[in-house]
Structure 1
Amino acid sequence: MEDRLQLLVEAVVDYGIFLLDTEGHVVSWNSGAQKLKGWRKDEILGKHFSIFYPPEAVATGWPDEELRRAARDGRFEDEGWRVRKDGTRFWANVVITALREPGGGGALTGFAKVTRDLTERRAHEEALRTSEERFRLLVDSVRDHAIFMLDRDGKVQSWNPAAEAIHDQPAEQAIGLQFRMLFSPPEREAGRPEAILEQARIHGRTEDEGWRQREDGTRFWAKSVVTAVYGRSGEPLGFAVVTQDLSQQRRMEDLERSSRRLNDFIALLAHELRNPLAPIRNGVTLMQMDKTLSPPLVKVRDIIDRQLAQLTRLVDDLLDVSRLTTGKITLRPERVDIAEIVRHSVETVRPLIDARRHELHVDVPAHAGLLVEGDPTRLAQVLQNLLVNAAKYTPDGGRISLSARRAGNDAEVIVHDNGRGIAAQDLDRIFELFAQGETAPGAFPDSGLGVGLALARQLVRLHGGRMMARSAGVGQGAEFSFRIPLAKGL
């Protein structure tokens, strides 16, 4: 029987099986031990088993501690680094069993030691731990998506930093919380959380958008993707949830819808207001042709004429707002001389300038050759807007200068006044839609909608140019200029 047992031990090649005496010296050595550790039987017999341990373990007395514990408890098991004959290390599982004389409490006769090489398994475990750590770091580094796990009953099992920020709830409070508690009360009452998890169970994955609730009771609009998670054998483990806060996007979409509705309303309103303006204008024109009107009627007629002109300008502004915000402004380009644009614009604005008793100086060199490819009507609209603003925001008897020149490959038009000026912080804001400044004392009342400069800059941009504003400050005048590329060949 002993011979058969010895043959069995010798036949084992995947385990190192050998005996130690009571002091830890090797007294037997199977083929598995030789394969595992590299020593032949004649080389190792009589050696102390501490030769199998790294120097740092020997220095701490760990081999003797293993024997002491095995002797005390009857058996000792450990995992750690061991050393082969060639000095290489391997990760081993070691079981040491104390051997005693037959009978209860017999004297210690030695130890049986079984060693197994677990290096490959440990490498797999380390790789798995590394992969899990990398995945954890990846999940924790995500800042705009809440990522967390639920168990099969819908309780939170993990909670990344983004989940803390989005749901405004620390991990220690969220762990163990029911999934349904993340929803608003109306959705909880409707059974929405349970329905989402059930859909994920049935289909493996489901998407949902709706209101979620934070710890403080505030709500946010969220998009969630819930995925059922299964083990290797197919058993359900729980759910992975990825939630994104779409509150800002939802607000932007609401604003876009409101903007579209507003633009539609403005366009409809402008067209409806424009229809009665034509017959009123015709009526005023007929009254102007009648030389027999009494002075009171003439005064009334002139009031109607002025207010009609103002109303017409407001309606035109409304239409331009609609075209500007919807991108429907179109140009009819042709080769046009900037000098002609200047002449036409000055003629149009001259009555306002004269009414304010302003001094206007125009400097456009003769035969300057400032030809551009542009829409003459829209370019005149730009320049007229700048001249009207200069007249409105300059006290009576002010000075306005208008000049045009060649600047490289561009034609540059400059309008300068000595009026109220512009504060430094308002230089960019004045080009915003509906932006208006406060009317300065003595300035022409501003009854427009505040779209002129925004429209003018957009028209210049459509011509491939740019518009700028300069001012030394309040009360120190202002300068507006725009540049447009010269026609090709110039």
Structure 2
Amino acid sequence: MDNSNNPIDPELFKLMVEQTKDYGLFMLDPLGHVVTWNLGAQLIKGYFPDEIIGSHFSRFYTREAIDRGWPQYELKVAAAEGRFEDEGWRLRKDGSRFWASVVITALRGGNGELLGFSKITRDLTERKMNEEALRQSEERFRLLIEGVTDYAIYMLSEEGIITSWNTGAERIKGYAREEILGKHFSRFYRQEDIDAGKPWHELQTAKQVGRAEEEGWRLRKNGEAFWARVVVSALYDGEGRSRGFAKVTQDLTERRHMQDLEKAAQNIHEFIATLAHELRNPLAPIRAAAQTLQWLPEGDPRLAPMIDMLDRQSRHMTHIIDDLIDVTRIGRGMLSVEHTFVDIADIVRQSLEATATAIEEREHTVEIDTAVEPVFVSGDHHRLNQLVTNLLSNAARYTAHGGRISISGRAEGGNAIIEVRDTGKGIEADMMGRIFDMFVQGRGSLESAERGLGIGLALARKIAELHGGALEVFSDGKGKGSTFTLRLPRAEYVQASAVSASPEAAGRPVQPRRRVLIVDDNADAAESLHHLLQTLGHETYVASSGAVALEMVAHYRPEIVLLDIGMPGMDGYETARRLRQLNAGTPTQLRIVAISGWGQEPDRAKSREAGLDLHLLKPVELPQLIAALAEPDRAEG
């Protein structure tokens, strides 16, 4: 039965309005006086109908609202726009406040005249209190987070953009809130980590498993690296939608430093114990031999092997002491090398001779493969021999009896390569990065006869670096042997053998006469070089500082400047830059050659940046000096 056209029973509608409990439903006359009052209004506001009908509705408002004319404003807006909606504090009969949702609707007759207003009020106090409690809770949490100083706590968007920043983050990372919000968090990572995609991998891991946790290096605003423990947590709303990430970072630099100190102390303790063991080993037979020699008669056949043993053991002790001295030199940055032309085949041969006894005692098979043609490097013959000898001794020590050792020397592009392989104990993966650290012995226990001092490989790598080269190691793991690869820059020989064959040949090379300016604050060094070059037939001048050199260049117009780097005041780099400026636009290109005691790659890079053509190491060998004056691009030291 369709009742859609049936008129609503007025009495029924009246009952519906009067008996509704959850809403206050009442009418106002055009001036705002209460005309009707339902049960819901009575329950919400506390007034009975006979107490409130005829009263102005402003009595439901707080004093502050009345003073600013808010009730009149509500009616004005409702009359003009048809309705007014608001939430705010209202008063009950007993004076208590409640949070009300209010809708006022203007009632107009058929001619548009204003008949009054209907007003619907709902008590939302409970919702308001819950919202306020939540707001206060969030505010307390925000203040708590912002007040934390020991942890960097901040939020990231899904893309990794920083959206919040607490006091701890500002203290640890160095960025103020206003300069970091809106930036990508990858700026806290080192370049190698960015190149490897580490920041984005962290976010991906957190999204996949809920959190990502690690320890690693991070960067402060000033570029300083610090050791951090990081936890990244993925955030989701109630419907499971991603809302970004929360990140907590703790600065553990001090703890790591303490761990490193503890480890270093442990390594040194083990080193001292091992050193005592290593020194007692040769001392025991030396002392026994000394006592025996007192009783052996002259001509006894046991004398010769006893003397050989004394010589062998004393040389072993000398090797240990030399290594210890070199350790102190490394610690003070004083380990240096002298440069001559060296054939790596000679280094291989002499290193094998030095380790022959150890190899023979353990019955190893040795395979040798060196290039037919000489492969030259510019280096310190003694130090390179020390380096390769340490590699062979290491291979002999850690390869079981009857093992195989192979050594090869070859040219590979611009490098000379010496490679030492063994079939020994190998290197565990977790030791690969530490095997060249000082006082580290990765393979063997304290009681093991195979244990070394833990300084040979550290010295070897340092010597390689001082030659502008590199020493690398590879192993498939425990029990699978090791391969040590030494890479050194090749050097052209420049007839070094002919030049150094005799004093006469060295003193009278066939080369053009040059005008040379020597710049060195060390008077003895400058004067000796001055006399040497004059002996070689060159025209030379001496300047004791960079400032004097600049004045002399303009007057004497030298072709070549031999320039010390470590001068007080204006150093060699700045002097070279200014010399280049003075020489700009002249028809003759000035050659500037650095002669310095500092020869690592950073020092050479600075020389190149300053405009120097060559970087030679003190003391410069005569063949290098001759080559620098003749063909400087072939005389790098």
Category of TM-score, reference length = shorter chain:
0.5 to 0.7
**Residue 120 (structure 2) pairs with residue 136 (structure 1):** no
**Residue 206 (structure 2) pairs with residue 200 (structure 1):** yes
What's the offset of the Cα at 1:277? 5.4
What does 1:219-258 align with in structure 2 at a 5 Å threshold?
Answer: 219-258=225-264
Matched letter for residue 185 of structure 1: Q
Say if 1:262 and 1:79 are closer, same or farther in 2 by CA, change over 3 A: same
What's the offset of the Cα at 1:72? 2.9
What's the offset of the Cα at 1:149? 1.0
CA distance in 1, matches of 2:130, 2:26: 28
What does 1:384-399 align with in structure 2 at a 5 Å threshold?
Answer: none
Normalised TM-score (structure 2): 0.43
What's the offset of the Cα at 1:263? 1.3
Query: Is the contact made by 1:150 and 1:241 (CA closer than 8 Å) also made in structure 2?
Result: yes
CA distance in 1, matches of 2:218, 2:81: 58
What's the offset of the Cα at 1:28? 1.0
What's the offset of the Cα at 1:161? 1.0
Q: Which stretches of structure 1, 4 residues or more, deviate above 4 A after TM superposition? A: 274-288
CA distance in 1, matches of 2:200, 2:183: 14
What's the offset of the Cα at 1:285? 9.6
Matched letter for residue 227 of structure 2: W
**Residue 92 (structure 2) pairs with residue 93 (structure 1):** no
Tell me what 2:114 maps to.
108
CA distance in 1, matches of 2:282, 2:214: 51
**Residue 32 (structure 2) pairs with residue 5 (structure 1):** no
| Partner SS for 1:273 | helix
Matched letter for residue 95 of structure 2: G
What's the offset of the Cα at 1:284? 9.4
Matched letter for residue 50 of structure 2: D
Tell me what 1:62 maps to.
70
> In the TM superposition, what whole-angstrom CA distance separates every residue of 1:151-192 from its partner, at most 9, and x where no partner exists?
222221111111112121111222222232322221111111
Query: Is the contact made by 1:196 and 1:208 (CA closer than 8 Å) also made in structure 2?
Result: no
**Residue 160 (structure 2) pairs with residue 154 (structure 1):** yes
Matched letter for residue 190 of structure 1: A
Tell me what 1:360 maps to.
none
Tell me what 2:40 maps to.
32
| Partner SS for 1:94 | strand
What's the offset of the Cα at 1:56? 3.3
Tell me what 1:259 maps to.
265
* Selected match of 1:41 from 46, 49, 52: 49
Query: Is the contact made by 1:69 and 1:76 (CA closer than 8 Å) also made in structure 2?
Result: yes
**Residue 219 (structure 2) pairs with residue 217 (structure 1):** no
> In the TM superposition, what whole-angstrom CA distance separates every residue of 1:257-314 from its partner, at most 9, and x where no partner exists?
22211111112112333455567778999999xxxxxxxxxxxxxxxxxxxxxxxxxx
What's the offset of the Cα at 1:117? 0.5
* Selected match of 1:72 from 67, 77, 80: 80
* Selected match of 2:190 from 181, 184, 199: 184
What's the offset of the Cα at 1:12? 2.2
What's the offset of the Cα at 1:236? 1.4
Matched letter for residue 41 of structure 2: A
CA distance in 2, matches of 1:201, 1:283: 72
| Partner SS for 1:134 | helix
CA distance in 2, matches of 1:235, 1:164: 30
Q: Give aligned-pair identity as a percent.
A: 54
> In the TM superposition, what whole-angstrom CA distance separates every residue of 1:60-90 from its partner, at most 9, and x where no partner exists?
3322222223223322222222111222221
Query: Is the contact made by 1:167 and 1:215 (CA closer than 8 Å) also made in structure 2?
Result: yes
Matched letter for residue 70 of structure 1: A
CA distance in 2, matches of 1:100, 1:182: 67
| Partner SS for 1:143 | coil
* Selected match of 1:124 from 123, 130, 152: 130
Query: Is the contact made by 1:145 and 1:242 (CA closer than 8 Å) also made in structure 2?
Result: yes
CA distance in 1, matches of 2:13, 2:158: 51
What does 1:308-457 align with in structure 2 at a 5 Å threshold?
Answer: none
The two structures, once aligned, show a CA RMSD in angstroms of 2.8
CA distance in 1, matches of 2:265, 2:49: 90
Q: Which deviates more from structure 2 when the two are superposed, residues 19-28 or residues 179-188?
A: 179-188
What's the offset of the Cα at 1:238? 1.2
| Partner SS for 1:181 | helix
Query: Is the contact made by 1:151 and 1:239 (CA closer than 8 Å) also made in structure 2?
Result: yes
Tell me what 1:52 maps to.
60
| Partner SS for 1:80 | strand
CA distance in 1, matches of 2:94, 2:174: 58
Higher RCO, 1 or 2 (CA under 8 Å, sep at least 6)? 1
Query: Is the contact made by 1:52 and 1:83 (CA closer than 8 Å) also made in structure 2?
Result: yes
CA distance in 1, matches of 2:164, 2:75: 43
Matched letter for residue 261 of structure 1: N
CA distance in 2, matches of 1:12, 1:155: 52
| Partner SS for 1:248 | helix
CA distance in 1, matches of 2:177, 2:200: 22
CA distance in 1, matches of 2:204, 2:148: 27
* Selected match of 2:181 from 143, 156, 175: 175
What's the offset of the Cα at 1:47? 0.8
CA distance in 2, matches of 1:283, 1:194: 68
Matched letter for residue 8 of structure 1: M
| Partner SS for 1:91 | strand
What's the offset of the Cα at 1:224? 0.7
What's the offset of the Cα at 1:4? 3.9
Matched letter for residue 30 of structure 2: T
CA distance in 1, matches of 2:289, 2:159: 80
CA distance in 2, matches of 1:128, 1:21: 40
| Partner SS for 2:133 | helix
CA distance in 1, matches of 2:243, 2:40: 41
**Structure 2 unaligned spans of 5+:** 1-7, 295-320, 322-637
Matched letter for residue 240 of structure 2: G
Normalised TM-score (structure 1): 0.55
CA distance in 1, matches of 2:117, 2:84: 11
| Partner SS for 2:101 | strand
CA distance in 2, matches of 1:6, 1:173: 64
CA distance in 2, matches of 1:200, 1:118: 40
| Partner SS for 1:95 | strand
**Residue 89 (structure 2) pairs with residue 81 (structure 1):** yes
| Partner SS for 2:16 | helix
> In the TM superposition, what whole-angstrom CA distance separates every residue of 1:313-350 from its partner, at most 9, and x where no partner exists?
xx9xxxxxxxxxxxxxxxxxxxxxxxxxxxxxxxxxxx
Matched letter for residue 40 of structure 1: F
| Partner SS for 1:36 | helix
> In the TM superposition, what whole-angstrom CA distance separates every residue of 1:4-51 from its partner, at most 9, and x where no partner exists?
433332242111111101111001111111111111122211111111
What's the offset of the Cα at 1:248? 1.8
